[in-house]
Amino acid sequence: MKHILVTGGAGFIGSNYINHILQERDDYFIVNLDKLTYAGNLENLKASENNPRYTFVKGDITNHELVDYLFKKFDIRYVINFAAESHVDRSILGSQIFYQTNVIGTNVLLEAARRHNVERFLQVSTDEVEGLFTESTPLSPNSPYSSSKTAADMMAMAFYHTYGMPVLITRCSNNYGPLQFPEKLIPLMIINALHDKKLPVYGDGKNVRDWIYVIDHNRAIDLVFNNGRLGEVYNIGASTEMYNIDIVKLILKELGKTESLIEYVKDRPGHDRRYAIDSTKIQTELGWKPEYNFADAISKTIRWYLDNKEWWERIISGAYTQYYQKQYGNK
Q: Which residues bind ligand NAD (CB under 6 A)?
A: 7-8, 10-14, 33-37, 39-40, 60-62, 82-86, 101, 105, 124, 126, 149, 172, 174-175, 181
- Least distance from ligand DAU to the Cβ atom of residue 146, Å: 7
Active site residue 127: yes
- Name which of 128, 120, 101 is nearest 33 in CA terms: 101
Q: Is 13 one of the binding residues for ligand DAU (CB under 6 A)?
A: no
Active site residue 145: yes
Q: Is 182 one of the binding residues for ligand DAU (CB under 6 A)?
A: no
Of residues 84 and 165, the one with the C-beta less far from ligand NAD = 84
Q: CA triplet 277, 282, 283: central angle to 5 degrees?
A: 95
Catalytic residue among 85, 127, 130, 272: 127
* Contact present, 17 and 223 (Cβ < 8 Å): no
**269 contact partners, CB below 8 Å, separation of at least 6:** 92
* Contact present, 328 and 45 (Cβ < 8 Å): no
Q: Is 150 one of the binding residues for ligand DAU (CB under 6 A)?
A: no
- Least distance from ligand NAD to the Cβ atom of residue 216, Å: 12
Alpha-carbon span 134 to 225, nearest angstrom: 20
- Least distance from ligand NAD to the Cβ atom of residue 303, Å: 20
3-state secondary structure of 36: coil
Taking CB under 6 A as the rule, which mask of x and - marks residues 93-132 in contact with ligand DAU?
A: ---------------------------------xxx----
Residue of minimal CB distance from ligand DAU?
126
Give the Cβ contact number of residue 143 at 10 Å.
21
Catalytic residue among 43, 60, 128, 272: 128
Taking CB under 6 A as the rule, which mask of x and - marks residues 236-275 in contact with ligand DAU?
A: --------x-----------------------x------x
What are the angstrom distances between the C-alpha of 204 and each of 245, 265, 284? 8, 8, 36
Residue 37 binding result from ligand NAD, ligand DAU, none, given CB thresholds of 5 to 8 Å by partner type: ligand NAD
Interface residue with ligand DAU, options 88, 169, 224, 315 (CB under 6 A): 88
Q: Give the β-pairing of 208-213 and 241-243.
A: antiparallel
Give the Cβ contact number of residue 168 at 10 Å.
24
What are the angstrom distances between the C-alpha of 109 and each of 14, 104, 113, 131, 172? 16, 9, 6, 26, 21
Of residues 12 and 288, the one with the C-beta less far from ligand DAU = 12
Task: Output the CA torsion sign for 122, 128, 132, 136.
Answer: negative
Binding site for ligand DAU (CB under 6 A): 86-88, 126-128, 173-174, 184-185, 188, 200-202, 207, 209, 244, 268, 275
Residues classed as catalytic: 127-128, 145
